[in-house]
Chains A and B, each alone.
Chain A
Amino acid sequence: MNELFTALAARGPEVWLRTLEHLMLTGVSTLAAVGLGVPLGILVFFRPGLRSALMSFVGILQTIPSLAMLALLLVVFGRIGVVPALAALTLYALLPVVRNTLVGLEGVDESVGEAARGLGMTPFQELARVRLPLAAPVLAAGVRTAAVIGVGIATLSAFIGAGGLGQFINRGLALSDTGLILLGAVPAGILALLVDGSIAGLEWAADARRHRDHRGAGRRALRTTAAVLPCALLVLPTAVLFASGRSAAGVDRVGICSKNFTEQLVLGELMAQVIERRTDLFVDRRFNMGGTVICHRALAAGEIDVYPEYTGTALTAILEEDLPGSEETADDVFRRVREAYEARFDVAWLPPFGFDNTYVVLAHPRVADSLGWRRVSDLASLARQLSVGFTAEFAERPDGYPGFTEHYGYTFGTERDLDPGILYRAVADREVDVAFGFATDGRIDGYGLVVLEDDLGFFPPYQAAPLVRMETLEAFPELGPALRSLEGALPDSTMRRLNRQADAGEGNVASIVSAFLDARDPGS
């Protein structure tokens, strides 16, 4: 709990912002679900033929796992942020609203329906004057369910960069920071209770039959409050957010994104802290995004401003160009992607961090020593007797095993697909003789593995560098110099050490990065 209060004290204003965002996500999606779901419920009530089709459709919507739904809508909308998150939340909220509308309308006593018809009400009058008022409490219960589900699922929308309290949880998970996790989880829990309670009040107020019990002015005020409170709770934050413009790109705000693995989190946090140390800009951390394409789209769309990327990845995954030939140096490749990004996306590649996270061939130190392995070519004569491990992805990529065997002209005797989690350990335990790993993985140092030199120059360069939107660089002239200060700051060995510290849980990522910056630049 101490961690929670420390985190809260440090980030009071941000907690307020995230809470507003969270309520906005919940409120807008719940209102949208009501706007969509009540008419749908009415439609099904009047057209029973549509019932099974529509009800199973909204039912299926709700069984889609939340992350899958968010990912799906990400693709549909082609952008990250609030829009796909709202769409997902609305779809989830639809089932309870539609179902309760229908159940409420159908639940009206048949004699009441016959009376309405017998007295000469049109179907619309019967709906508006009799069925809807009588269905109101059931309908309100559906809205309540929808809103509470919304508060819960809204925590997940941080994964696609929509903000909200989930952002603390997400960042906390990424950085192994318990305080941050609690900072998101505890307010989200409180919000769920508040929303539930206030809509329970709405239900109470919606039950028209209770009016007779409360003729006193005090009771009437209570009823009004019960009806207004949930609206205020859900609608007001939206208004505040729009009025303050925080949901749009704020003038003094820099959004930093990272992908979902250790090195990316370290780099993201590193850039964030450098900006915070050297400028007065507000850094909005949107870490742990679902992959290269998501970060790229967010950057290109201007939803974030900065993220760390690798030249090789940019070339193959984003620009979809051929692999660099062996005559191209790392600098050549860097120039190529830089020019292409400036021209096509209006995005700048700032000077690289200094390491090259390409594929490397790894061996156990004693084996390498005794057999005299220094370079990858040294393995050629023995390869048929050796076993090799690599990830499933490496087995298929053109810059992976197929290209490797062609380039070096040999294949290994035994090939094993291994999970990245056990790949390095497999070499250390001598379950395989050699393995293809990532150059800057902390576990290379952790297990003391030997990196063999890519003497025939097969592996393309994967130099990492900050990507920044040109527009942002122009808007904040102090941003460029701050990020340029990281040029060459992280040779392979340093990046590996930071990754190992983060993987081993030696403090959270923020403190590891902070210690690194302190040691490097004691003056700041």
Chain B
Amino acid sequence: MIDLTNISKIYTSGAPPALVDLTISVRRGETLALLGSSGSGKTTALKLVNRLVEPTSGEVRIDGRDVQGMDVHALRRSIGYVFQGIGLFPHLTVAENIGVVPRLEGWDAERTRRRAEELLDMVGLPPEHFRDRYPDALSGGQAQRVGVARALATEPEILLMDEPFGALDAVTRVRLQDELVDLARRLERTIVFVTHDLIEALKLGDRVAVLHKGALHQVGSGRELHDHPATPFVRDLLGQLRDQIDEADRLLGGSA
């Protein structure tokens, strides 16, 4: 569905490239996790899809069509986008925030309103309580749910999420992760999301792409990554997970 081919990205000439010769395909309906630490190029890879970042070389295709040939604003409106900063518009109500893209697409007020209420229900925020609130009257978790609802407003085929749960506390994060797994299964959308958290990647991703210093090390299910690491980096990464579990057992005075 989404094909990134031989992508390189250099932000400032002379500096190390953010991405080097990245080729990766996202299958229709799957959830792909882009996993890496900061500077790995994972966010750059995500933003290539809706052209918030333009590649220095290589091409991005959606359903076989080169995104360079598309109207950039229409492209972005056709793709859902959620990110860590959430970026709800503070001067608009929750319902108005969710209705932004529908309005840009020319929906009438009534259809937009109904859609917003439907989405609020779907993300677990009772419309009658949340519809007319302003973003600064929401908790972090509520705001992120509104952010997800806003991204889904026009039923985009593709949903991009840039560290969507990064700013949330641990309890809220786990709950929203569970909800997203559930949502993704029900909606059958193609989801690409960025995370630096291995557990989150394994939990949400049908497949995980491991990026490090601008290079793609391996793409595969958690099981594949664990059993057949393609590079020492991937092996160490998965190994750390085992170490952490042992450490947790020891701290809790378990069997070890």
* A interface residues with partner B (beta carbon < 8 Å): 109-122, 125, 129-130, 133-134, 208-209, 212
Contact = CB atoms under 8 A, between A and B. Distances in A.
Interface in B48-81: 50, 52, 73-78, 81
Given A120-B73, A120-B76, A212-B133, A115 B87 contact: yes
Contacts of A212: 93, 132-134, 137
B104 A115 contact: no
A118 B73 contact: no
Nearest to A118: B81
Given A114-B87, A118-B81, A212-B133, 6 more contacts: A111-B85, A111-B86, A116-B87, A118-B50, A120-B73, A120-B101
Contact of A117 (B76, B90, B101, B104): B76
B104 A112 contact: no
Contacts of B136: 209
B83 interface: yes
Contacts of A119: 76-77, 81, 100-101, 104, 150
Nearest to B147: A115
Contacts of A114: 52, 83, 85, 87
A113 B85 CA distance: 10
B92 to A, nearest CB: 8
Interface string B131-145: 011101100000000
B66 to A, nearest CB: 18
Contact of A120 (B77, B90, B133): B77
Given A121-B104, A125-B104, A209-B136, A115 B91 contact: no
Contacts of A121: 73, 100, 104
B88 interface: yes
A476 B134 CA distance: 67
A378 B204 CA distance: 115
Nearest to A208: B91
A113 B76 CA distance: 14
Interface in B83-122: 83, 85-91, 93, 100-101, 104
Interface secondary structure of A, over-half rule: helix
A320 B137 CA distance: 76
B86 A115 contact: yes
Given A117-B52, A120-B101, A112 B90 contact: yes
A118 B86 contact: no
A120 B87 contact: no
B88 A115 contact: yes
B155 to A, nearest CB: 14
A121 B75 CA distance: 11
Interface of B: 50, 52, 73-78, 81, 83, 85-91, 93, 100-101, 104, 132-134, 136-137, 150
Contacts of B76: 117-120
A125 B86 CA distance: 19
Given A118-B50, A118-B83, A134 B90 contact: yes
Contacts of B86: 111, 115
A292 B74 CA distance: 66
Contact of B134 (A111, A120, A209): A209
A320 to B, nearest CB: 63
A451 to B, nearest CB: 78
B107 to A, nearest CB: 14
A122 B100 CA distance: 13
Given A120-B77, A120-B101, A121-B104, A112 B89 contact: yes
B89 to A, nearest CB: 6
A208 B133 CA distance: 13
27 contacts: A110-B85, A111-B87, A112-B90, A114-B52, A115-B85, A117-B76, A118-B50, A118-B52, A118-B76, A118-B81, A119-B76, A119-B81, A119-B150, A120-B73, A120-B76, A121-B73, A121-B104, A122-B73, A129-B100, A130-B89, A130-B91, A134-B89, A134-B90, A134-B91, A212-B93, A212-B133, A212-B134
A110 B52 CA distance: 14
B143 to A, nearest CB: 11
A120 B150 CA distance: 12
B137 to A, nearest CB: 8
A134 B93 CA distance: 13
Nearest to B91: A208
B96 to A, nearest CB: 10
B150 to A, nearest CB: 7
Among A113, A115, A208, the most chain B Cβ lie within 10 Å of the Cβ of A115
Nearest to A207: B91
A109 B143 CA distance: 16
Nearest to B72: A120
A420 B160 CA distance: 82
A111 B150 CA distance: 15
Among A120, A129, A208, the most chain B Cβ lie within 10 Å of the Cβ of A120
Nearest to B153: A119
A162 B85 CA distance: 54
Contacts of A134: 89-91
Contacts of B134: 209, 212
Contacts of B132: 212
Contacts of B81: 115, 118-119
A130 B76 CA distance: 17
Nearest to B137: A212
Contacts of A209: 90-91, 134, 136
Contacts of A112: 87-90
Contacts of A110: 85
Given A208-B91, A212-B132, A212-B134, A120 B75 contact: yes
Contacts of A109: 85, 87, 90
B85 to A, nearest CB: 3
Nearest to A136: B91
A120 B85 contact: no
A208 B101 CA distance: 20
Contacts of B100: 119, 121, 129
- Would you list the 10 A-B pairs with minimal beta carbon distance, nearest first? A115-B87, A111-B85, A120-B76, A120-B77, A118-B81, A111-B87, A208-B91, A120-B73, A133-B91, A112-B87
